[in-house]
Structure 1
């Protein structure tokens, strides 16, 4: 897999996870926090993969 595709996949995963965190915030806060942390790690991974 090329690096461009890897970055796009990581950013798509981050968007999915952060969207899930946003949608579950009012009902399941611990799950929303875990999804938010995982989403931020995916963003950080994409940024570090580019560098």
Structure 2
């Protein structure tokens, strides 16, 4: 798998997780916080992957 494709997949995963965290925030805050943390980690991973 190409390095660019991996970064794009990680960014897409981050967007999906952060969107889910946003939509869950009013109903289930602990789950939303967990999804948000995972989304941030995926975004940071994508940024680090692109700069590698």
For the residues of structure 1 that align with 2:8 and 2:50, how far apart are their CA atoms? 11
| Structure 2 alignment gaps of length 5 or more | none
What's 2:30 paired with?
30
Q: Which runs of 5+ in 1 are unaligned?
A: none
Q: Does 1:47 align with 2:47?
A: yes
Return the alpha-carbon distance in structure 1 between the equivalents of residues 12 and 3 of structure 2: 14
- Secondary structure of 1:26 counterpart: coil
Aligned length: 51
TM-score, with length taken from structure 1: 0.98
CA RMSD in angstroms comes to 0.3
- TM-score using structure 2 length: 0.96
